[in-house]
Structures are given as C-alpha cells and as structure tokens.
Amino acid sequence: MMRRPIVIAHRGASGYLPEHTLPAKALAYGLGADFLEQDVIATRDHRLVVLHDVYLDDVTDVAQRFAGRHRDDGRHYVVDFDLAEIATLTVCERRAPASGAVRFPSRFPAATGISGVSTLATELRLIQGLNKSMGRTVGIYPEIKDPQWHRQHGIDLAALLLAELAAFGYVRAEDPAFVQCFDARELVRVRENFGCALPLIQLVEPTPEYAELLTADGLKRVARYAHGLGPSHTQLARGESGRPRLTPLAGLARDCGLRLHPYTFRRDELPSYAQTLEELLEFFFVEARVEGVFCDHPDIAVRVRDRAIEVQ
C-alpha cells in the first residue's frame, strides 16, 4: 500500500479564506489537513506574528490606518510597528498595493475583511485547543522568514521562534512540527548552534542562487542538517507534449535520503500540463511519490491523497 503523504495547508485554507487568518486555519483544520503552515515575522517590539511578507501592504489595510508610516519605497514594514498597532489591522485577500488588483479574483471577496493579524502564540493555542476538542493531532509548519532582514533590524528571528515553539512543547524530533526556511545558513545554525531536534525543511526556488545547492554534492550537504527539501512543484516536474515528466531533482534528493514537500498546489494556478488540481495532485502523489504537499485547497489534496492510497 502507498505510504501516507502529508497535506500541509498553505497559509491555512487560503484558497477559501484570506491567508494566515485564524478562520483560514480553523477551516483547514476542519477540512482534514495534517499540518498548518505559519510564516513567522517579528514586530518592532519583538513579538511574533503570522504573515507571509515582511511588509503589510498586500494583505492588510495598513495604508488607510497608518498614513505616512511607509518607507521611501512606499511599503509599510512589520518591523516598523508594535504589536498593538498591528492588532488594529484587518486582513483581506492578497492584492497588488500599487494597482489594487486582486491576485486570485475567484477567491473570497477582496473588499471583505473578516479577521486581524494573528500572533504565533494565538495560532498555536488555537491548534492545540482543536487537537484536544477534536481528538486529532494536527501539526504545525512554521517558516523562519527572511532571517537576514530581521538580523539587520536587531532581531534574531530563529531564536525567538524556537523559544516560542519550546514554550508550546514543540522540541523533540517526534513532536508534530517542521521548521522551514529558504536560508541554508540559517537552517544550519538552527541545527548546530541551537541544537534544534525538530525536522528541518530546506526550501528552494527555481532561481540561480539555489543552483549549487541543488547539485548532487549540494544536496548531500543539505541532508546533513535537513529532513527534507521544499521545492516549487515546477522544479520537480515539467510538461512535455501535454504530459508531465519528473526532473532529475526528484531522484537526486531521494538518493540523499531527503523527503520531498513541494509547494504550492492551487486550483487557480495550474501548469500547462494539468487540467485540474486533482490531476496535478494525483501525478505528484502517485508518480512523483512525494512525502507531502503544500496546498491552498487542503480538502482537495486530502481527497486525492486518500483515493490514491486506496487504489495502490
């Protein structure tokens, strides 16, 4: 029988509700996700909040509430605000601040804000509370976002995150938590300097800066500190005459013992070789045999995963 890959709710059930809001996390929990993702950013007073970007403009009403608090580039950065100020903001669907264009027009109405910015502690309390009341164990999947940026502003984000995780009981290798980061040096530091026992996931992008890391030798080095690799799904499969094929990266990672947790699967952003999200996910579960997927629509991923297991 096929092993059971995990479904990671990408920023919660972000295909249905504004990303990283508590309602999106609660919905993802209810839709059967195995892990809920948290992108972690620090405020000016060193509090941890759950947001994808180091700035607030794309998903909140910060420009209306705090006129004149932007930097020269026009952005309002999280690190320039205290938590009490950020707590006054409303989160909405992602949009381009310059044009106001919504990234995914078919999703939740962009003009409707339903929740505020969540602290990491509040989200962890929600997940652990649901685990108790629902009798399930749903894990967490925090990302150390832009650690160098935070360090430039006098904040050791990794240290703050690991301390918060420890306070909630996430310290052992068997605890239901992964820690992810795009910065390889930071993950090495987390493993070696902090002695973190949680499984680490090395995130990578299809950009030149990761070329050396994704060679056979580079992946061997990754395997010394990381449990797995989190590439874009476009790095693992390519369309050819309407049919997908695996890239060499999948085999290279497996040769080094790295698990594969590709991102981001969403029904409103499909590669040319897939007609539906179900078709795309089935290829990755059955043919690519990945150990997990980041998905905006966790209910679809759970359904396809479970069906794939049944037919094996």
- Residues 219-230 as b/e (b if ≥16 CB within 10 A, e otherwise) read bebbbebbbbbb
All structural domains of the chain with their residue ranges = 6-54+117-311
pLDDT of res. 1 = 54
Chain-centroid distance of CA 312 in Å reads 29
How does pLDDT run along the chain (312 residues), one tens digit per residue? 568 999 999 999 999 999 999 999 999 999 999 999 999 999 999 999 999 999 999 999 999 999 999 999 999 999 999 999 999 999 999 998 778 899 999 999 998 988 999 999 999 999 999 999 999 999 999 999 999 999 999 999 999 999 999 999 999 999 999 999 999 999 999 999 999 999 999 999 999 999 999 999 999 999 999 999 999 999 999 986 678 999 999 999 999 999 999 999 999 999 999 999 999 999 999 999 999 999 999 999 999 999 999 877
**Range 124-129, long-range pairs (CB < 8 A, 24+ positions):** 124/164, 124/168, 126/22, 126/25, 126/26, 127/25, 127/29, 127/36, 128/168
What is the value of pTM for the model shown? 0.97
Per DSSP, what are the bridge partners of residue 48?
42
CA 122 to chain centre: 18
CA–CA separation, 162 and 110 (whole Å): 34
Q: Which is nearest to 18 in space by CA: 298, 299, 296?
A: 296
Give residue 98's pLDDT. Answer: 73
Q: So which residues are the catalytic ones?
A: 10, 52
* pLDDT of 97: 75
Task: Please state which CATH class domain 6-54+117-311 belongs to.
Answer: alpha beta
**Separation of alpha carbons 132 and 265, rounded Å:** 29
**Distance from C-alpha of 223 to C-alpha of 283, rounded to nearest angstrom:** 25
Longest dimension (CA), the chain: 59
pLDDT value, residue 6: 98
Compute the distance between CA of residue 87 and CA of residue 119 in angstroms, rounded to an integer: 9
Contact 15, 266 (CB under 8 A): yes
